[in-house]
Structure 1
Amino acid sequence: MSRGTPTRVVVVHHDQPEDCLATIASLRRSTLPVSVTVVDNASDTASRATLARGLERFDPSEVEVLEAPENLGFGPGANLGLQRFLYDPSDGDWVFVAPHDIEVAPGTLARVLDAASTVANAGLCCADVGDAMVPVFDPYFGGMVVPGGDEPGWEPVDYPHGTLMALRRDCLAEVGMFDERYFSYCEEADLGMRARSRGWEVGLVRGAPVRNRNLGSPVAVVDELQTRNTLLLVREHSGRYHAFIRICFTLVQVARGVLSPATRPAVFDPRARLRGVQDFLRGRFGPPGHRR
């Protein structure tokens, strides 16, 4: 791509204007020219006002805001920005998607796109969070990470992580955007699996650093969505039998965590996990607690 053509970056925001402004400033320091689309997921009045004041220092051609009618979640919110990208062919071949609380090195975006240009049929890829791990899909456990390589450049993965991912226009046109049933968590794994099933290459670019400044969702919300969405992911890409085994494993995890607190993982809320299983079995997807 031409270094003079701005690269579109979609930033999904909700109620964290200072983090969002810091993310935009980080992106604007990139060695590539960028054009930022902020999708505001129905932030409260004070957050919207703070964001608007902070954006006054940017030219409107550099940063735009799309207002969502409600908190759509990460994937559905990102889809608003992706629709904007797909509608305008002059936006180039690649678009980046990120949450509102990342920090990127100045050369990260360029390194990601340069690495993708060396891979035939590259469709999706992500930057390097620095944990030396790679995302993989397990037919029973869904998305997980395992130790990866340390050589700079493209490393094949099953799906890109959502901290900073790049999506190719032609891949999106063929595969589609994020599945909005997920709301948040696992949507990038689903998209990666769909892309790979159509023959697109998916990778992680070592040496293209990105940092996620914080994880702000309450434990119960995270546990509920992770449980429900992992079951959906496993069913969609492995089948109902594998999803049933995953349900059994989840119930054993809940019982073990309740009876032996020392064995609990960092994110553990037994009631939330049971709600996640219940919502999956009843076909309740979208926002947590939502009926859709």
Structure 2
Amino acid sequence: MARAAAKHKPSAPAVSVLIVTYESGPTLARCLAALKAQTFGDFETILVDNASPDGAAQAAARGEPALRLIENAENLGFAAGVNAGARVARGRWLALLNPDAYPEPDWLQRLMAAASLHPEVRAFASRQLSAADPTRLDGLGDVMAGAGFPFRGGYRGPDPGPLPTGEVFSPCGGAMLVERDLFLELGGMDERLFCYCEDVDLGYRLRLAGGRSLVVPDAVVRHQGSASSGGPRSDFATFYGTRNRLWVFVKDTPPALFWLTLPLHLGATAVLFTRHAMRGELASPWRGFKAAVKDIRIAIEARHEAQARRKVGSLAIARAMTWNPADVFRRRVVIRPLATPPPRPTPPAGA
């Protein structure tokens, strides 16, 4: 009888799409409709709801029985939400998608084609366009400046049009593909970060392990952005972004590079705070910075873990960063061309 039951067990999908929701009612239905229209159909959808009071995730699950719903008793943040979904996912690949990101019909097909074409790569980023103005970018992969400041490449700039697949520092968690085994090997998202910069931290740890990430410019989503947190300059976003940026710098920067760039990081922070002050928005980033310093032991403990797993040195990480100040001030797209793969070794005669 057990064998007969096993015969009828549905096979695992190739991809598990993970969507973490919190008060996502205004956008979730559109996101799920875009997923239903995908030309690549071998995927499951997992909603992880962080105790939303709006009931949107529950309503979506009632309307679509194939959806898998995880209901957290409280708001655990994006990082813990993704980890909860990854633990139950059945796909070889995890596709992380924000509930306010609307993928084009061939989004998953394009990502999976890139994964097939580049089997040595295990993490991929998407082209994110602004949902409000698709002629402008929301991001083309994440960039890490030499000062230890991450940013979305091309954010709010004009869409540059067709581009080849290339290497970026890390994928943005709003629309990315990562191999599930790799995700788990890296320890998943760092739940101590709660929200913001956790995707940069994941991509940084992938680099420390000797891996790399590619952006697939023809895998397109339209991203509304910060729909659940009140906008990119809300108190919530600014507090956690400021706190976590310092923690990720302390946690992930290799030793030689850390001491070399610490003055740059502090100087860049001072410049950013000056801009906040000129806009009358200093309270939230200052609270975030104080919280980061007060609980710096959290970042130091995390550093011990991250550096213990490190397989590459400071030079390899430095080469993956941008050292051009204009890239930072203009939030330029930074995509490095793919290196020509080494030729396969010729087997000995008679092999």
TM-score, length basis structure 1: 0.82
**2:273 aligned to which of 230, 254, 260:** 254
List 4+ stretches of structure 1 deviating above 6 A. Answer: none
| Cα drift, residue 6 of structure 1 | 5.4
Q: How many angstroms apart in 2 are the aligned matches of 1:201 and 1:250?
A: 27
Distance 1:285 1:42, change over 3 A: farther
Structure 1 partner of 2:94? 95
1:55 to 46, 52, 61: 61
Structure 1: unaligned runs, 5 residues or longer: 86-90, 287-292
* Conserved 8 A contact 1:123-1:195: no
Q: Within 5 Å, which residues of 2 pair with 1:1-292? A: 5=13, 7-33=15-41, 34-44=43-53, 47-48=54-55, 50-58=56-64, 60=65, 62-85=66-89, 91-130=90-129, 131=137, 133-146=140-153, 151-216=162-227, 217-218=229-230, 219-238=234-253, 241=259, 242-243=261-262, 245-255=264-274, 257-258=276-277, 261=278, 264=279, 269-283=281-295
Return the offset for 1:273. Answer: 0.8
Paired residue for 2:308? Answer: none
Task: Give a deviation string over 1:234-289, Cα, whole Å, max 9, x none.
Answer: 1122256445653454244334543xx3xx4xxx7211111111111111799xxx
Are the aligned partners of 1:7 and 1:32 in contact in 2 as well (CA < 8 Å)?
Answer: no
Report the more deviating stretch, 212-221 or 197-206.
212-221
* Change over 3 Å in CA distance of 1:41–1:257 after alignment to 2: closer
Write the letter of the residue equivalent to 1:140.
A
Corresponding letter in the other structure for 1:208: A
CA shift, 1:65, in A, is: 0.8
Matches of 1:209 and 1:276, distance apart in 2: 33
* SS of equivalent residue, structure 2 residue 165: strand
Counterparts of 1:269 and 1:282 in 2: how far apart (Å)? 21
2:71 corresponds to which letter in structure 1?
E
Q: Contact 2:14 / 2:93 at 8 angstroms: preserved in 1?
A: no
Deviation at residue 36 of structure 1 after TM alignment: 0.8
CA contact (8 A) 2:127 2:140 kept: no
- Alignment-mate amino acid for residue 36 of structure 1: T
Contact 2:147 2:268 in 1 (8 A): no
Distance 1:52 1:196, change over 3 A: same
Over 3 Å counting, the alpha-carbon distance change for 1:19 and 1:172 in structure 2 is same
Secondary structure of the 1:43 match is: coil
Greater radius of gyration (CA): 2
TM-score, length-scaled by structure 2: 0.69
Tell me the distance in 2 between the aligned counterparts of 1:101 and 1:252.
Answer: 31
Could you tell me the percent identity over the aligned residues?
A: 25
In the TM superposition, residue 189 of structure 1 has moved relative to its aligned partner by: 0.8
What is the CA–CA distance in structure 2 between the aligned matches of 1:252 and 1:152, rounded to whole Å?
A: 32
Give the C-alpha shift of residue 53 in structure 1.
3.1
Could you tell me how far 1:12 is from its partner in structure 2? 0.4
